[in-house]
């Protein structure tokens, strides 16, 4: 199947993203706002919400044929949780980007990127910015796979 | 990522959930790949019990579906759930939040947990019904049984999706309306089984009475839809509900009415496909079609004749 087709599809069909919070992290105001933002810039958001595990996110990503995973993290666990998610997807052979949103100290951002996180979004990011960041991450991941 | 449909189908039949997920995307997108998937799946369909669940927003459909799935898994079923939610007509985006309520079967052993797919209506009028029916076929063909389809019961398309099920469960909750509402035409007429959910709340008995009154006025020669009180969040009444759903299936088989039901829908589905294709001829017009439309605009020929010419010149097997 020619690679070009998939690139065209990328623009033709709404992107699908799984949004979740991993483990014990009860602040779900942000993820709800982001879900709404992404809806408003044309994404199909598969909302998993609170208390998910890397396995439930992986299962959702596979069954929903998601283009990306978005993690909202507010409990300081990003250095543990985000790389774990990246590895879980990698081990399953699911080549989609993980984007992290929430409260992440600036010093940790390059470390997360090094661990394979595609992008980190902080508070104050606009809907357009969030959408564009995820869109580029998906495009980059697809180019990688092809 | 770029596996061919036939290869994906083989993997999906072997339990590869990612392959199933990808097949469903192809069906959802339609076009040549979607047609190919439909073709591959077709010979292996028809085995699954398709259960539609519908009702107004907030009556607890997703939680009911989750609990029914758990009941079906306990009986050894390989459950699939298709949850349809509306897309925003403005942006095409959607928040698909049904999965949030579907956790009770997560503890099931690997491979037993339900396959859950969320689908957005994507704003196409006839397209959703086709995509959803196509998705049900794929889930059936790769070995899922039963398949539970959930939609909000607002709008003709959602009704069509649910009506394509073998057994339709309509969920209501206390305070949903009264006997007059119950006698209005619509969703309630579709029900094979009623669930009065949130029955721990006041008004459950009234809701049941209103439904009973409605049913009393109707004619139910061989199957009077049972009414089951449920409290889905606590799992109460859900086993009884699932039992009724299964006896409805048995009833369809015993009275040989399953085939009749499905036959009636086949014509409807073919009609939809035709409709979609003809729509495509105008939405993505060829040069010939453009020219004909220009001629109609200029008064050179009547629209009916242009339509006739377009239909006559359609090459077979051309998928828009």
pLDDT tens for residues B128-147?
A: 677 888 999 999 999 999 99
Is the domain of B60 the same as that of B200?
yes
For testing the chain B interface, which of A47, A65, A69, A146 should be mutated: the one with the most B CBs within 10 Å?
A: A65
Query: 10 Å Cβ neighbour count for A64?
Result: 23
Is the domain of B68 the same as that of B177?
yes
Give percent above pLDDT 90 in chain B.
55
Is the domain of B181 the same as that of B57?
yes
Is the domain of B79 the same as that of B183?
yes
Chain A: give the shortest CA distance to residue B17, in Å.
Answer: 6
In a domain, B50, yes or no: yes
Nearest to B96 by CA among B73, B116, B70, B69: B116
Enumerate the residues of chain A whose CB falls inside 8 A of the CB of residue B120: 14, 44
Cα A33 from Cα A19, distance rounded (Å) = 11
In a domain, B169, yes or no: yes
Q: What is the dihedral of CA B177, B179, B185, B191, to 10 degrees?
A: 80
Give pLDDT, residue B127: 59
pLDDT mean values, one per 10 residues, chain A (146 residues):
36 86 93 96 95 95 97 96 98 97 96 98 94 97 82
Is the domain of B39 the same as that of B122?
no
Is the domain of B249 the same as that of B225?
yes
In a domain, B291, yes or no: no
Q: ipTM score here?
A: 0.88
Is the domain of B35 the same as that of B113?
no
Is the domain of B34 the same as that of B134?
no
Strand order from edge to edge, sheet including B193-196: B115-120, B80-85, B147-152, B50-55, B167-172, B193-196, B227-229
The domain segmentation of chain A, as residue ranges, is 13-145
Query: 3-class SS at A132?
Result: helix
- Final residue belonging to a domain, choices B210, B227, B255: B255
**Range of B123's domain?**
46-255
Which chain B residue has its CA at the smallest distance from A7's CA?
Answer: B2
For testing the chain B interface, which of A17, A43, A44, A70 should be mutated: the one with the most B CBs within 10 Å?
A: A44
Nearest to B130 by CA among B143, B119, B141, B146: B119
Contact B25 A142 (CB under 8 A): no
Chain B: give the shortest CA distance to residue A80, in Å.
Answer: 23
Cα A65 from Cα B118, distance rounded (Å) = 10
Is the domain of B137 the same as that of B118?
yes
Which chain B residue has its CA at the smallest distance from A62's CA?
Answer: B18
Is the domain of B26 the same as that of B70?
no
Enumerate the residues of chain B whose CB falls inside 8 A of the CB of residue A59: 17, 113
Contact A36 B95 (CB under 8 A): yes
In a domain, B193, yes or no: yes
In a domain, B149, yes or no: yes
Is the domain of B1 the same as that of B19?
yes
Give pLDDT, residue B179: 60
In a domain, B308, yes or no: no
Q: Which CATH architecture has domain A13-145?
A: 3-Layer(aba) Sandwich (3.40)
B130 HSE (CA, 13 A, CB side): 25
Give pLDDT, residue A11: 43
Give how many domains chain B has, as a whole number: 2
pLDDT tens for residues A11-51?
A: 468 999 999 999 999 999 999 999 999 999 999 999 999 99
In a domain, B274, yes or no: no
- Final residue belonging to a domain, choices B209, B235, B255: B255
B29 HSE (CA, 13 A, CB side): 24
pLDDT at residue B97 is higher than 60: yes
Place of tokens 């039901």: B261
Enumerate the residues of chain A whose CB falls inside 8 A of the CB of residue B138: none
B296 HSE (CA, 13 A, CB side): 15
Contact B2 A42 (CB under 8 A): no
Report chain B's mean pLDDT, rounded to a whole number: 87
Of A38, A60, A63, the CB nearest to B93: A38
């Amino acid at each position: 199947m020619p690679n070009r087709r998939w690139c065209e599809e990328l623009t033709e069909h709404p992107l699908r993203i799984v949004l979740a919070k991993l483990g014990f992290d009860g602040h779900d105001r942000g993820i709800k706002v982001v879900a709404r933002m992404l809806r408003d810039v044309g994404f199909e958001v598969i909302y998993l919400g609170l208390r998910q595990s890397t396995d439930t996110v992986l299962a959702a990503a596979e069954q929903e044929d998601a283009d990306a995973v978005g993690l909202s993290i507010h409990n300081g666990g990003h250095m543990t949780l985000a790389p774990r998610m990246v590895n879980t997807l990698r081990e399953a052979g699911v080549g989609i980007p993980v984007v992290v949103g929430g409260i992440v100290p600036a010093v940790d951002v390059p470390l997360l990127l090094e661990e394979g996180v595609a992008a980190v979004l902080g508070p104050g990011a606009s809907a357009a910015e969030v959408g564009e960041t995820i869109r580029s991450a998906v495009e980059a991941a697809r180019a990688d796979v092809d | 990522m770029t596996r061919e449909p036939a290869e994906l189908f083989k993997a999906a039949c072997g339990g590869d959930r990612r392959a199933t997920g990808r097949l469903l995307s192809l069906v959802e997108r339609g076009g040549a790949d979607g047609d190919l998937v439909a073709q591959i799946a077709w010979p292996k369909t028809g085995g699954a019990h398709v259960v539609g669940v519908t009702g107004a927003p907030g009556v607890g459909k997703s939680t009911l579906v989750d609990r029914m799935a758990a009941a079906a898994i306990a009986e050894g079923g390989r459950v699939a759930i298709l949850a349809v939610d509306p897309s925003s007509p403005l942006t095409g985006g959607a928040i698909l939040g049904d999965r949030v309520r579907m956790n009770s079967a997560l503890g099931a052993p690997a491979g037993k947990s339900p396959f859950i797919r969320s689908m957005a209506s994507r704003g196409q009028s006839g397209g959703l019904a086709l995509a959803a029916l196509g998705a049900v076929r794929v889930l059936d063909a790769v070995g899922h049984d039963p398949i539970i389809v959930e939609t909000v019961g607002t709008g003709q398309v959602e009704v069509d999706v649910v009506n394509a099920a073998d057994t339709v469960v309509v969920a209501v909750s206390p305070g949903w309306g009264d006997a007059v509402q119950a006698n209005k035409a619509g969703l309630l007429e579709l029900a094979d089984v009623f669930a009065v959910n949130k029955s721990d709340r006041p008004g459950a008995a009234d809701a049941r009475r209103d439904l009973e009154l409605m049913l009393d006025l109707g004619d139910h020669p061989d199957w009077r839809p049972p009414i089951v009180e449920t409290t889905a969040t606590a799992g109460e009444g859900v086993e009884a509900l699932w039992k009724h759903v299964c006896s409805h299936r048995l009833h369809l088989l015993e009275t040989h009415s399953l085939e009749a039901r499905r036959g009636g829908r086949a014509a409807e589905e073919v009609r939809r496909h035709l409709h979609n294709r003809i729509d495509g001829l105008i939405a993505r017009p060829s040069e010939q079609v453009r020219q004909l439309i220009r001629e109609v605009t200029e008064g050179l020929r009547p629209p009916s004749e242009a339509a006739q010419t377009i239909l006559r010149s359609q090459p077979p097997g051309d998928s828009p």
